Structure 1
Amino acid sequence: MAWVLLLLLPTACLQAGNSAGSNRGNTFGVNQPARLSGVQGGSIKIPFSFYFPWEWTKDPRMTFLWRWQRFHGKFIYNSSSGFIHEHFKDRLILNWTQPQTSGVLRILDLKEKDQNKYFCRVHLNTKHGLEQWQSIGGTRLNVTPRKHIPVSTTTKSPSIVTSAVTTAGLEATEGQKNPSFVNIGATIGVVVATAVLITPVCVMLIFLWWKKRPAD
């Protein structure tokens, strides 16, 4: 029974520390937004801030650890060791500079499985020893699937096709001239050619007729 109480003690202490947020002078805690939404393939920033009553040492050696899924869930990030969970490999960036008491955890290339809860945990060396505490509520992250973007086709719009056909028609007309003018030109050519062929024959017939006519 005693070991059960020892296991429950850290959680009880953490909850007590966060539940007394109205008097931060004597409490400690981590603030995170309750909910955030992101788009699949995009990125999201989870802001956090923390507070505590203890006096820290000259070298507080602040460390931030992040859990997901639940309060006692698996660790996905450790700022001290550089550990990153395999699922988040090359996708987690912590923006924070000591001794600031706020920062941002950025998740890149959001995936469907990233939709879950995230908890920030703080480790800090103080003059009272090593202190550690964690957000109780965490941040619920919702990931929205990216909207389907239809693939563009090579089919032109009707206006473009009509314009192309009209242009082709104009080009063909310009190359062939006006059909009526072409027909008239062809007719005149035939008449002239016929006249050229018939005229010598007519002249020859008139000459023979004149030569054979009876002399007066």
Structure 2
Amino acid sequence: MGLLLLLPLLLPAALQADSSAKCNSKHWHEVNQPEYLSASEGDSIHIPFSFCYPWELDENPNVNIIWRWKHFHGEFIYNMNTHFIHKDFENRLSLSWTRSSRNGSLQISKLRREDECWYFCRVQLTTQRHGRKASQSISGTKLAITRGDPSKTLRSVRTLGIKDNIETPSWIIK
């Protein structure tokens, strides 16, 4: 009997019944991002994201993180699984995320004025009973690019509307 009680502790996290990231909101599954971020032209910024889902993941969940820009159905700028990076972002994008985590960030470096727009994170994963599922941030993140002396401009300061389960970035000034 004691062995049966310990068995769930020995299973991989993806197979445990309580391994799903339960959502705190009214939605069954969602991707959360800050509503607004600002950075100086030429600097770098991290756009944080988190996701939650009600399903038990497959043994091989094949999680894929994808980013779009400009609007909800906008062009893809990044696809983790295919290693795709949009030509406008070559050598400027990187994803900070580990396979066991439900949050991370997209870094955009060498910011340009034309990077100012909306960014949307999409997460795809394979579940045990429901197959492939996808969630995308509905509101996205509005990135504002400021001009001026970078030493006097706040880096990634305003995070209006950020959800509780995203760690708020703490980068203010170099």
Identify whether the pair has TM-score above 0.5, normalized to the shorter chain: yes
Contact conserved, 1:41 with 1:146, CA < 8 A, in 2?
no
Count residues with an aligned counterpart. Answer: 128
The Cα shift of 1:133 comes to 1.2
Q: Is the 8 A contact 2:40 2:150 kept in 1?
A: no
Q: Distance in 2 between matches of 1:64 and 1:92?
A: 13
Higher strand share: 2
Structure with the higher fraction of residues in helix conformation: 1
Cα drift, residue 146 of structure 1:
3.1
How do residues 6-25 of structure 1 correspond to structure 2 at under 5 angstroms? 22-23=25-26
> 1: distance between equivalents of 2:73 and 2:57?
26
2-structure distance, mates of 1:148, 1:109: 12
Distance 1:41 1:83 in 2: 23
Query: Structure 1, residues 4-26: CA drift from partner, whole Å, max 9, x if none?
Result: xxxxxxxxxxxxxxxx96346xx
Provide Cα deviations, 1:43-78, integer angstroms capped at 9, x if missing partner: 000000000001001110100110000000000000
Q: Hey, what's the Cα distance between the residues in 1 that align with 2:150 and 2:33?
A: 32
Partner of 1:143: 145
Asked if the contact 2:68–2:119 (Cα under 8 Å) also holds between the matched residues in 1, the reply is yes
Q: 1-side partners of 2:59 and 2:91: how far apart?
A: 32
1:134 partnered with 2:136: yes
The aligned counterpart of 1:84 is 85
Runs of 4+ displaced beyond 2 Å: 20-24, 146-149
Where relative contact order (Cα < 8 A, 6+ residues apart) is larger, the structure is 2
Unmatched runs of 5 consecutive residues or more in structure 1: 1-19, 150-216
Residues of 1 paired with 2:104 and 2:73: CA distance? 22
Determine which structure has more spread, i.e. the larger CA radius of gyration.
Answer: 1
Distance in 2 (CA, whole Å) between partners of 1:23 and 1:144 is 35
Matching of residue 115 in structure 1 with residue 111 in structure 2: no
1:174-189 equivalent positions in 2, closer than 5 A = none
Report the counterpart of residue 156 of structure 2 in structure 1: none
Q: Aligned residues: percent identity? A: 46
